[in-house]
Amino acid sequence: MSKYGSRKTIDLEWIERWARRVNDDRVMPRLGRFFNARFVLGVDDVDYLLHMRQGKVEKISEGLEPSDLGYEFALRAPASAWSKFSQKTPPPMFNDIWAMAHPLHRQLQIEGNQLTFWQNMRAMHWMLSLMREV
């Protein structure tokens, strides 16, 4: 095991544990008060659709369907990248979504309506950091 910790399996059960951690967080309601959106967390070939309402995860769906009527934005990265990102002490270049998305590194794709993403970045950033407590 490296100093950065062991690899995790990022699957639906893991996403659920993370979502419950987000919903239990004491700070998230303040940061996410206006965070109402549906976004995709892409892990390898699997898309997880998360419904956010006032900073809480209301629903998670594995895979996308036409009746979803789309989503606002997506963060897609290989499972290996999310696994490193979510370690207690993530390694350099995997410790932040901007590190992973930077043109120099290209681990993460941010797609869709970037305006919604930027408007809610503070809350997004906070909830993603809670992956390290799952």
Range 65-104, binding other proteins (CB under 8 A) = 65-66, 76, 89-90, 92-93, 95-99, 102-104
Kindly tell me which of 7 and 12 has the beta carbon lying closer to other proteins.
Answer: 12
Residue 60, CA atoms < 13 Å, CB-side half-sphere: 20
> Among 63, 60, 102, 65, which Cα is nearest to 81's?
102
Kindly tell me which of 23 and 36 has the beta carbon lying closer to other proteins.
Answer: 23
Selected binder of other proteins within 72, 80, 113, 121 (CB under 8 A) = 121
Query: In Å, how far are 31, 69, 84, 98, 102 from 48, measured between CA atoms?
Result: 22, 14, 18, 20, 23
Taking the alpha carbons at both ends of the chain, their separation in whole angstroms is 18
Minimum CB–partner distance for residue 81 and other proteins (Å): 13
Residue 54 carries which DSSP code?
Answer: T
Kindly tell me which of 7 and 46 has the beta carbon lying closer to other proteins.
Answer: 46
Interface with other proteins (CB under 8 A)? 12, 16, 19-20, 23, 40, 42, 45-47, 56-66, 76, 89-90, 92-93, 95-99, 102-105, 114-115, 118-119, 121-122, 125
